[in-house]
């Protein structure tokens, strides 16, 4: 294609730029690589590196060649954005030694592609960029998103990638710092959804509690206006924290130091983010750690115990958790007692030890057992009964995947079951009362009348008492 044909092909180029040497050669090379890639667009199109090394562009290979091509491409993009466009693909790397972040922003140039095709090609590359970004964020508990965007050249495109994942895979919150000039700076921090539990574990209210303690009287005085008589709170979900943050940031902000004020703001922003994530993410994932922790603390518990302790959890949620891999991975045994239609949950790893402890206390340490309070004894007997039922099912069917025992442990389990059966038999034997009452046959009505008449006429033998003389006199 000679220069005239090239000029006719790219009629949108006007003015001084049309007089630039090699401008049409660059456009022709972009189109050539574009045609090789289309229609699917998977093959790489013209990048700056490919254009700079292409011999189809007759610019002499001198030190100024790369700068000249770069200048002409920039002019085309700025002057004719409807005709010359670029596709962006991001990739990220971090030097493990220096912790330096590098962003590779691959730009592929295209000419006169309609919007529908361009958007399809960009979407393909956005998927690659998205996966690269999520892979980066997964490696870190928290990531400074503001620094990442600041380091990027194509900030608008990177923001588009980030926004596409906000609220699903990426969650952000503000982080405040004070610089050396005492100016407050706000940056966006983020974390990957897969790291949520690890991120949540970093939330620490120790500094906040110290700040509250320093201003205890004033904080409490203002809380009482809302009917709150104490500034103690349970965890980040406690609604009381809304009032505490309001008091510290609105009423007492002038009394706090710069660092304390920034700390309170950071905790509030972080907490608000966690609460939002709880509602957006799978609630089973959000509350799995709370459920498992409660069960491990009690070793065995009723479903009602969990529901009454963690108010955010309802029967629907715990049913989903029961059927999920979260429970199975945590080795929590779920057992439904048909007698009272109640679900019980047992910490699988301590099942055998807990069962043997209950067996020992109830059957072999009876004096110690009797010293326990009534409610404690009843709870222990209930737990022992449930553990025995689970053990019987496991021995007979072995259908508890959450309970893994070796041969030695199985033998211990069988011995405990034998103990239980023997103790049960002994208890049943000792409570049986033999019945030996003689049952006489009933007499007929006629027989009873005859006996009554005979008794009236029957002579009774009268035995006279011995006198003292009769006792001591001997026959003559």
pLDDT, tens digit, 9 for 90 and up, residues 406-420: 888 888 998 999 888
Q: Number of folded domains in the chain?
A: 4
Q: Tens digit of pLDDT for each residue in 181-198?
A: 999 999 999 999 999 989
Q: Tens digit of pLDDT for each residue in 320-335?
A: 999 999 999 999 999 9
Q: Which of 145, 163, 192 is the last residue of a domain?
A: 192
- Closest alpha carbon to 263 in 189, 202, 190, 204: 204
In a domain, 28, yes or no: yes
In a domain, 447, yes or no: no
Q: Are 59 and 96 in a shared domain?
A: no
Q: Are 181 and 207 in a shared domain?
A: no
pLDDT tier, 472 (very low <50, low <70, confident <90, very high otherwise): very low
Residue 277 confidence (pLDDT) above 60: yes
pLDDT tier, 465 (very low <50, low <70, confident <90, very high otherwise): very low
Residue 466 confidence (pLDDT) above 60: no
Q: Tens digit of pLDDT for each residue in 24-59?
A: 999 999 999 999 999 999 999 999 999 999 999 999
Q: Are 322 and 297 in a shared domain?
A: yes
Q: Which domain holds residue 174?
A: 90-103+114-192
In a domain, 468, yes or no: no
**DSSP-assigned letters across all residues of 204-270:** --HHHHHHHHHTHHHHHHHHGGGT------SSTT-THHHHHHHIIIIISGGGS-HHHHHHHHHHHHH
Q: Tens digit of pLDDT for each residue in 447-456?
A: 565 565 656 5
Hey, what are 457's tokens?
């006429």
Q: Are 219 and 260 in a shared domain?
A: yes
Residue 433 confidence (pLDDT) above 80: no
In a domain, 459, yes or no: no
- Own/partner pairs, 403-407, CB within 8 angstroms, 24+ separation: 403/331, 403/333, 403/348, 403/351, 404/331, 404/348, 405/352
Q: Are 166 and 76 in a shared domain?
A: no
pLDDT tier, 137 (very low <50, low <70, confident <90, very high otherwise): very high
Q: Are 34 and 139 in a shared domain?
A: no
Q: What Å distances lie between residue 428 and 116, 186, 421, 423, 431, CA to CA?
A: 83, 74, 11, 9, 5
Distance CA 342, CA 336 (A): 6
Distance CA 63, CA 34 (A): 27
Q: Are 248 and 309 in a shared domain?
A: no
pLDDT tier, 255 (very low <50, low <70, confident <90, very high otherwise): very high
| The pLDDT of residue 404 | 80
In a domain, 289, yes or no: yes
| The pLDDT of residue 339 | 84
- Greatest mean pLDDT among 231-235, 382-386, 466-470: 382-386
Q: Percentage of residues in the chain with pLDDT exceeding 90?
A: 70
Q: Tens digit of pLDDT for each residue in 107-121?
A: 999 999 999 999 999
For residue 288, the tally of other CB atoms under 10 A from its CB is 19
Average pLDDT, the chain: 88
Q: Is 338 helix (H, G, I), strand (E, B) or coil?
A: coil
CB 424 within 8 A of CB 446: no
Q: Are 64 and 143 in a shared domain?
A: no
pLDDT tier, 467 (very low <50, low <70, confident <90, very high otherwise): very low
CA 337 and chain centroid, separation: 27
In a domain, 469, yes or no: no
pTM over 0.85: no
Q: Which of 280, 311, 333 is the last residue of a domain?
A: 280
| The pLDDT of residue 266 | 97
- Closest alpha carbon to 15 in 67, 76, 65: 76
Mean pLDDT value of segment 468-474: 34
Strand partners, 346: 300, 333
Q: Are 254 and 234 in a shared domain?
A: yes
**DSSP-assigned letters across all residues of 128-168:** HHHHHHHHHHHT-SSEEHHHHHHH-SSHHHHHHHHHHHBTT
Q: Which of 388, 407, 424 is the last residue of a domain?
A: 424
Q: What Å distances lie between residue 420 and 312, 338, 405, 424, CA to CA?
A: 39, 21, 20, 6
Q: Are 14 and 134 in a shared domain?
A: no
pLDDT tier, 464 (very low <50, low <70, confident <90, very high otherwise): very low
In a domain, 394, yes or no: yes
27 against 3, higher pLDDT: 27
Q: Are 246 and 372 in a shared domain?
A: no
For residue 307, the tally of other CB atoms under 10 A from its CB is 14
Q: Are 99 and 66 in a shared domain?
A: no
In a domain, 256, yes or no: yes
CB 57 within 8 A of CB 29: yes
């Amino acid at each position: 294609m000679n220069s005239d044909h090239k000029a006719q092909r790219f009629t949108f180029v006007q003015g001084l730029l049309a007089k630039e040497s090699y401008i049409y050669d660059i456009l022709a090379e972009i189109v050539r690589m574009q045609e090789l890639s289309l229609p699917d667009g998977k093959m790489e199109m013209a990048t700056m590196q490919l254009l700079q090394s292409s011999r189809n562009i007759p610019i002499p290979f001198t030190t100024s060649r790369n700068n000249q091509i770069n200048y002409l491409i920039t002019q085309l993009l700025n002057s004719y954005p409807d005709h010359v466009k670029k596709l962006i693909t991001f990739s990220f790397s971090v030097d493990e030694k220096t912790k330096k972040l590098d962003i590779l922003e691959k730009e592929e140039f295209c000419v006169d592609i309609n919007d529908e095709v361009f958007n399809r090609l960009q979407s393909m590359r956005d998927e690659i960029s998205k996966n690269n970004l999520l892979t980066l964020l997964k490696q870190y508990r928290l990531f400074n998103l503001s620094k990442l965007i600041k380091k990027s050249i194509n900030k608008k495109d990177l923001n588009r990638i980030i926004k596409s994942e906000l609220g699903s895979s990426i969650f952000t919150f503000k982080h405040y710092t004070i610089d050396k000039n005492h100016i407050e700076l706000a940056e966006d921090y983020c974390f990957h959804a897969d790291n949520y539990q690890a991120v949540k574990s970093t939330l620490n209210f120790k500094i906040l509690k110290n700040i509250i303690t320093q201003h205890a009287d004033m904080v409490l005085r203002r809380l009482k206006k809302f009917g709150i008589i104490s500034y103690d709170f349970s965890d980040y979900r406690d609604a009381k924290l809304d009032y505490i943050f309001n008091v510290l940031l609105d009423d007492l902000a002038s009394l706090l130091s710069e660092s304390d004020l920034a700390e309170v703001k950071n905790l509030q922003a972080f907490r608000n983010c966690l609460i939002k994530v709880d509602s957006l993410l799978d609630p089973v994932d959000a509350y799995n750690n709370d459920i498992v922790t409660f069960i491990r603390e009690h070793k065995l518990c009723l479903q009602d115990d969990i529901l009454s302790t963690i108010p955010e959890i309802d029967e629907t949620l715990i049913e989903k958790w029961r059927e999920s891999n979260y429970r199975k991975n945590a080795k929590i045994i779920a057992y439904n007692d048909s007698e009272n239609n109640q679900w019980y949950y047992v910490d699988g790893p301590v099942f055998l030890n807990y069962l043997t402890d209950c067996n020992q206390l109830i059957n072999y340490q009876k004096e110690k057992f009797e010293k326990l309070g009534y409610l404690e004894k009843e709870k222990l007997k209930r737990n022992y009964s449930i553990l025995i039922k689970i053990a019987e099912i496991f021995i007979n069917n072995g259908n508890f995947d959450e309970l893994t025992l070796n041969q030695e442990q199985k033998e211990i389990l069988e011995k405990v079951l034998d103990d239980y059966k023997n103790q049960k038999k002994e208890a049943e034997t000792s409570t049986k009362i033999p019945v030996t009452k003689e049952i006489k046959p009933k007499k007929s009505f006629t027989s009873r009348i005859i006996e009554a008449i005979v008794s009236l006429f029957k002579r009774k033998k009268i035995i006279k008492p011995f006198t003292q003389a009769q006792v001591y006199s001997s026959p003559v």
